[in-house]
Amino acid sequence: MPAPLNLAIETSGPCGGIALGRGDGEILWHQEFPTGRAAGGQLFVALEECIRAEPPPARILVGVGPGSYAGVRMAIAAATGVGLALGLEPIAVPSVCGYDVSAPAFHAIGDARRGAFYYTAVVGGRCQRGPKIHTEEELHALLRNEPQWPVFSVEPLANFPLAQRAVATASRLLRAAAENFARLLEPIYLREPHITQPRTRVP
């Protein structure tokens, strides 16, 4: 009996994608497209093709970052809609677990702005530590803990010239190992969301 179908949605980076495959790692269909303002139309056209699959997907995996907040929100909205149509609860997966790399263990780093960086240790397709914000000095120390692991980033980082470029893909997200706990279906916030308080009117 063939393994059940899984659907993965990943739009946290500059290139988004959707993939349909089996739990044993077989990829049956995938489509990639640039993210941005025009990505929504391409995403939903691809999703329409996916949900016509027979049999329908048994699981929906969605990349929740770190990455583009707008891109992650778009993926969550799409996964929620498909989940409602199919009676499924989407599963949140950190996007770093979907990096298109062959290393079994690696450091995933990125620019968290305001002079800080985020760090994740990924082993066997699962986050072992992070994503969490660190200073530059803290991040260098973390990388020295496992110097044999390669370092990957979705963007060039001047202070970390050894970091290799990587991109999260829906096809690799399908193969990510199940985490030891269920994540909330929301973007991975590296910082608490900033809320601007309204000005108090002076009578």
* CATH 3.30.420 applies to domain 102-165: yes
pTM (2 d.p.) = 0.88
Q: What is the pLDDT of residues 13-33, one digit of tens each?
A: 888 899 999 877 789 888 888
In the 8-state DSSP scheme, what is residue 95?
Answer: G
Which residue in this structure is represented by tokens 């660190």? Answer: 134
Percent of residues, the chain, with pLDDT higher than 70: 90
Name the CATH code of domain 5-95+168-173 (choices 3.30.420.40, 3.40.50.720, 3.30.565.10, 1.10.1530.10): 3.30.420.40
Cβ-contact 165, 152 below 8 angstroms: yes
Confidence band, pLDDT 50/70/90 cuts, at residue 169:
very high
Which residue in this structure is represented by tokens 């329908």? Answer: 56
- pLDDT(139) > 60: yes
Distance CA 200, CA 197 (A): 9
Helix or strand holding residue 117 (H, E): strand 116-123
Grouping H, G, I as helix, E, B as strand and the rest as coil, residue 41 is helix
More confident residue, 178 or 51: 178
Grouping H, G, I as helix, E, B as strand and the rest as coil, residue 75 is helix
pLDDT recorded at residue 104: 95
pLDDT recorded at residue 203: 47
